[in-house]
Each structure stands twice: as structure tokens, then as C-alpha cells.
Amino acid sequence: MKNIMTSKTKISEGYSTVLPAEIRKALNLAPGDVLQWNVEDGLITIQPRKKMTLAGICGVISAGGDAVKDKKKIQAGES
């Protein structure tokens, strides 16, 4: 069963919006965390970007691989 949570906010004059408290708490988000915004066919999705750990970075980087490709994987949050 999916856990569905919905909330709404307004866009301020400065084009800012507030992340609702119940969503921040449910996803354990804090100041400094990064949210990735995606737009596809007029639909906006927002998802938190996971913080990379040293172990996670080491798992992404391939031995003797392409450093540029590895960096792009890390920046995209791939594992």
C-alpha cells in the first residue's frame, strides 16, 4: 500500500514557497537539504536528493573507469 500525503502552498511575491512541516518531518528534511524539481508534460514532481556518503561515492566510482562519467553519476544521485 502506498503512503500518500498531499499538501498545498502559495507562491510568494518573490516566487518562494514553503515546504509544509508535515512533509519535512515525514521525509526527515532539514535546512541545507537539496530538492530536485522535475517538470514533465505540465506536471511538477519534487524529490529530495540524497546526501552521498563516502561509501556511496566509492560504490559509484568504477575502478579504472571514466572519471567524467563517474562524476556525472554522482551529481545525478545515481548509485
Q: Does domain 1-48 bear CATH number 2.10.260.10?
A: yes
Does the pTM exceed 0.85? no
Instruction: Spell out the per-residue pLDDT of the chain, length 79, in tens.
Output: 577 888 999 999 999 999 999 999 999 999 988 999 999 999 999 999 877 667 666 666 656 667 777 777 777 766 5
Q: Strands (DSSP E) along the chain, which ranges?
A: 35-40, 43-48
3-class secondary structure, 46: strand
Give the domain ranges of the chain: 1-48, 51-79
Here the cell at position 42 is 505540465
